[in-house]
Every structure is written in structure tokens, then in C-alpha cells.
Amino acid sequence: MVGYLFLNKIGAWGHRLVVYLVVISILFFIGLALFKKLSNSSKILVALIGLGLASDIVARFIAAATRYSTPGYHLYIPLQYFLLALFYGIHLKKYGLWFSYSPLLMLVLAILNTIYFQSIWAIPSNMVLICSLSYIIYALITFNYLLNNVSEVSLLKSDLFWSNAITLAYFTCTFFCWSFYNFFVKKKINTTLIADIIYYANHIYYLTLGMAIIMNSRKKKNVK
């Protein structure tokens, strides 16, 4: 959700935001209800939805107090990276070392970015771009992994396929939108379109993650 709240009127609780929070809350509670049936990687997806929900609510409170919603995102982005690294680390064991230590690296980069480039009152777009690019690479590696480890189960019934495909689509969209956002701001162009795209992309992202979680809960429990 990073960016959407910022791109709208700071502190505004528009109906679209309410709809978004209701949707993400429902998905989170469904995830919690199914938690015991889920594999470890799907439990991480539930945590990811929970983190998204928490960060958006916290951002509202910070915005209400300071008129800026950005401080929460400076913490949200490294935490989100930590969860997604954990998620991909489960599937891509070959790169286990990278997924173990890269969250630390991202945390250091996030701190350096906040100190030297984008203060706590600015959108951490540099980190958004770096992390989005990382997720795109991880998603592509995962697709390669899927292709090299073909199972007998239909691909369309694979929760990993859906969660990975939506991660690729969502973060490609995020990367693309944020790349243009900086340009639009410089040129003083209205960014509503970008905000709208991110808003709907968020819905699709979380709904697909929810679908992947439900699919996983219906599978026989396995190691992953």
C-alpha cells in the first residue's frame, strides 16, 4: 500500500481507503483462521498481509499527528523485505545465504537512505525501487525454479505460482509507477492516475495473495 496513502490527501479517510482496509482486514482474518492448516511460506504471506494492514493504520495515526504518513513506510519497507526474503528463502534454498543476510543489508540501506537521501518526512522511493527490483528478480528466479521442478499437480492449482506471479506483476507495476512518479512530480503533472493504479494494484495483489493462502490451506500439508 506504500504510496497510495501518501499520494492521496494526507490524513484523509476517503471511502476508497475504507474499502481497501476492509478488504485487507477480511483477507488477514481469513489467513488467521486458516493459519494452522497453512505451510510455512503461506504463513509468511498472512504475516505480509497483516504487516500491510498494520502499516496503513499506523500511517493514518502518524499522519493525523504530524500531517505526514511517510515515517511509517521507512520502517515498513525493510520489514516487508524481511518477510518476502523469508518467503523466497523457503522456496529458493539454493540462495539461502542471500535470503538470510540480505534483510540486514536492506535495513542498513534503508537507514542510510533515511539519513542521507530521503528524510523521514519524504517518501522512501529509492528503497521502494531497490526492493521492487529485488522482488522482480526473486520472482523470475522462482519461475525458473518452478520450471525446473515441474510437479504433477496443475500449475493453476499451485499457490506458489499465483503468489509469485502476483508478486512479479505487483512489484513491476510499483517499480514502473514510482519511476514515473518522480518524473511527474518534477514536471508538476497530476499524479492521480498513478495513485489510482497503485490503489487497484494493491487490491489485486492482496486478493491474489488471499486466494493463494486459501489454495494452500486446501492442500495436504507439506514441508514448505
For other proteins, the binding residues (CB under 8 A) are: 143, 146-147, 150-152, 155, 165, 168-169, 172-173, 176, 180, 183-184, 187-191, 193-194, 197
Q: Choose between 113 and 191: whose C-beta lies nearer to other proteins.
A: 191
Minimum distance of other proteins from residue 179's CB (angstroms): 9
Q: Measured from the CB atom, is 112 or 193 closer to other proteins?
A: 193
Cell of 116: 542521507
Closest distance to other proteins from the beta carbon of 143 (Å): 6
Q: Which is nearer to other proteins, 40 or 144 (CB)?
A: 144
Query: How far, in Å, CA of 185 to CA of 209, rounded?
Result: 31
Report, in Å, the least distance between residue 219 CB and other proteins.
18
State the Cα–Cα distance between residues 103 and 135, nearest whole angstrom. 12
Nearest partner of 146 among 122, 169, 165, judged by Cα: 165
| Of residues 41 and 191, the one with the C-beta less far from other proteins | 191
Q: How far is the CB of 31 from other proteins (least distance, A)?
A: 25
Q: What is the DSSP string of 97-140?
A: HHHHHHHHHHHHHHHHIIIIIS-TTS--HHHHHHHHHHHHHHHH
CA distance 143 to 217: 22
**Cβ closest to other proteins, residue 149 vs residue 222:** 149
CA 53 from centre of chain: 11
| Least Å from the CB of residue 155 to other proteins | 5
